[in-house]
Amino acid sequence: MLWLLFFLVTVIRAELCQPDAENAFKVRLSIRTALGDKAYVWDTNEEYLFRAMVAFSMRKVPNRETTEISHVLLCNVTQRVSFWFVVTDPSKNHTLPANEVQSAIRMNRNRINNVFFLNDQTLEFLKIPSTLAPPMDPSVPIWIIIFGVIFCIVIVATTLLILSGIRQRRRENKGSSEVDDIEDKLENMDTITNSTRCDSLDMKGGHINDVFMTEDERLTPL
């Protein structure tokens, strides 16, 4: 009789943990992808550790401080290393609601990951979204720093260039002002003697107008 009761209890417990059962979650581990050569083998001891971590997470939830390792049931362990788990209440007849389990796992996700040397991508709780790490924004974005450096260099170089240009021009002006006076006198003499030069009709600021020169060449071929 006792044997039959025990059998019934086991069957009921087994039914609590099944693929796609109510309040059951599937877990998938990718140990070899994460650790390569240092990968450990997934055996019943690792399963015990997993159940312990889930129980630990549940104990942190108010009203669930009495969760024991035996309340966490694992089933359908495959070679992939994937399995399903449920958490039962102390009476072992009902499973705890999914949202409680979910929030408990989410809050302790980091510690569970660290225990198995895995991360959010290699230790997947399907249907439990992980909280992503906040973006690592430094207080001053790096691009602004580099921009500031480059901009300052450019401004300093431009200022130096302009200043050296001003200084050069001042030196030239002092030297050439005497030469200019002599040239002006010569030009004035020219305009006095040849008052009706053809070129002066279309002269623009002392430039020689190529239009007239090219026309002359056309008229007098050699």
Neighbours of 103 (CB within 10 A): 14
In the set 70, 151, 184, 194, which binds other proteins (CB under 8 A)?
151
**Binding segment for other proteins among 9-17, 49-57, 184-192, 213-221 (CB under 8 A)?**
213-221
Written as one string, the DSSP assignment of 153-205 is: HHHHHHHHHHHHHHHHHHHHHHHHHHHHHHHHHHHHHHHHH-TT-HHHHT-BT
Task: Determine, following the binding rule CB under 8 A, whether residue 203 of this chain makes contact with other proteins.
Answer: no
**Nearest Cα residue to 17 out of 90, 98, 72, 99:** 72
Query: Footprint of other proteins on residues 71-130 (CB under 8 A)?
Result: 78-82, 129
**Does residue 140 touch other proteins according to CB under 8 A?**
no
E strands in the chain: 25-29, 72-75, 82-87, 123-125
If one asks whether residue 169 binds other proteins (CB under 8 A), the answer comes out as yes
**What is the C-alpha to C-alpha distance for residues 48 and 203, in angstroms, rounded to an integer?**
102
Does 214 participate in binding other proteins (rule CB under 8 A)? yes
137 vs 2: CA distance, rounded Å? 63
Residues near other proteins (CB under 8 A), total: 44
Looking from the CA of 43 toward its CB, the CA atoms found within 13 Å total: 4
Is residue 174 within the footprint of other proteins (CB under 8 A)?
A: no
Piece of the chain touching other proteins by CB under 8 A; list 46-54, 56-64, 87-95, 156-164: 156-164
Residues within the interface to other proteins (CB under 8 A): 28, 30-33, 78-82, 129, 131-135, 142-143, 146-147, 150-151, 154-155, 157-158, 161-162, 165-166, 169, 196, 198, 201, 204-205, 207-208, 210-211, 213-214, 217, 222
